Amino acid sequence: MKSRMHCLRSRLSPGLVLLFSLAPLWAATPDADNLIRRSDQAIKPHTTYEKVQMDLYDEQGRLEQSRTLEIYFKQYPDHDVTLQKFLDPPIIQGSGLRIVDQHTAANDIWMYLPTTRRIRRIAGAQKSNHYMGTEFSYEDFEDYQPQSHHFQSLETQDCVRDKRCFRVAATPATEAERQASSYSKKIYWIETESLYPVRVDYVDHQGKTVKRLQVAELAPYGQYILPVQLSMLNLVNKRRTDIRFLERRVDQPLKDYYLSKRYLRTE
């Protein structure tokens, strides 16, 4: 499960940056597959460490719980691994998730709970379930999953902070993905300059937009432009989960230990 939260990694030469900054002028509807590929490359570092604050709001907009967690991410040749460990509040401290994305419809997920002192395997195909009580589901942390989606360009529109956004609709292309996902369509709003998906609209199988992910702020971190804060709004129950990045290290050496089940088991 590669986190879109991570970043934009600029692999572009200055000339190409200029070219892409002009992109909206000449390509209102760029080739969707190509755009997704470029965006995917741009937002995926080899490794990240992030310390994150996660705020859960109820339907009245009241803050119900603040959580702090650390997220380790590393790309391997044929799979990616994400490990999340909760640091706070005490009731959830030490709990963690390890997710191995082998670019198939279902990831491998392991959960550790201090109350059982046991790592329990979770079916990756139940990725439509809520993630730890938040408005995110497990699948919301996935990358574009180009192997299992069709992409179609929509018209470019104004989006946030006077920026323009390419819009791309992603629909499941495989039966396994259709079965596992709770969405019939996702609409990515990809900022033309950063190529970061600053907004995602999630459409359920009845055609109703049920959730919206919005990046509130992007900022430079080293050679990357990355989200500082993002928010997932559930349009059905009106609850919201905000994520704020407190600390981030990108493309630094990251020991495999921090992606391992033995680290997952530490409290």
- Euclidean distance between CA atoms 242 and 208, whole angstroms: 22
> How many other C-beta atoms can be found within 10 angstroms of the C-beta atom of residue 24?
16
Return the number of the residue (126 or 223) whose C-beta is nearest other proteins. Answer: 126
Judged by beta carbon, residue 208 or residue 261, the one nearer other proteins is: 261
Query: Residue 31 or residue 59: which is nearer to other proteins going by CB?
Result: 59
2 near 101, Cβ under 8 Å?
A: yes
- What distance in Å separates the CA atoms of residue 261 and residue 248, rounded to the nearest whole number? 22
What's the min distance (Å) between Cβ of 127 and other proteins? 9
Beta bridge partners of 240: 57, 233
CA neighbor of 58 nearest in space, from 239, 260, 266, 242: 239
Cis peptide before 89 (omega within 30 of 0): yes
Nearer to other proteins by Cβ, of 67 and 199: the residue is 67
Query: Minimum distance between the CB of residue 40 and other proteins, rounded to whole angstroms?
Result: 25
Instruction: Judge if the upstream peptide bond of residue 114 is cis by omega within 30 degrees of 0.
Output: no
Q: What does the alpha-carbon distance between residue 42 and residue 193 come to, in Å, rounded to a whole number?
A: 11
> Which residues of this chain interact with other proteins, rule CB under 8 A?
56, 58, 64-67, 88-93, 106, 108, 114-118, 120-126, 129-130, 132-134, 179-180, 239, 255-257, 260-262
The nearest distance, CB 199 to other proteins, in angstroms, is 23
Residue with tokens 């986190």: 3
Cα–Cα separations (whole angstroms), residue 164 to 14, 32, 34, 135: 20, 16, 18, 27
Smallest separation, CB 128 to other proteins (Å): 9
Q: How far is the CB of 69 from other proteins (least distance, A)?
A: 13
Decide whether 114 or 146 has the Cβ nearer to other proteins. Answer: 114
Least distance to other proteins from the beta carbon of 48, Å?
20
Between 11 and 121, whose beta carbon lies closer to other proteins?
121
* Residue with token string 């989200």: 227
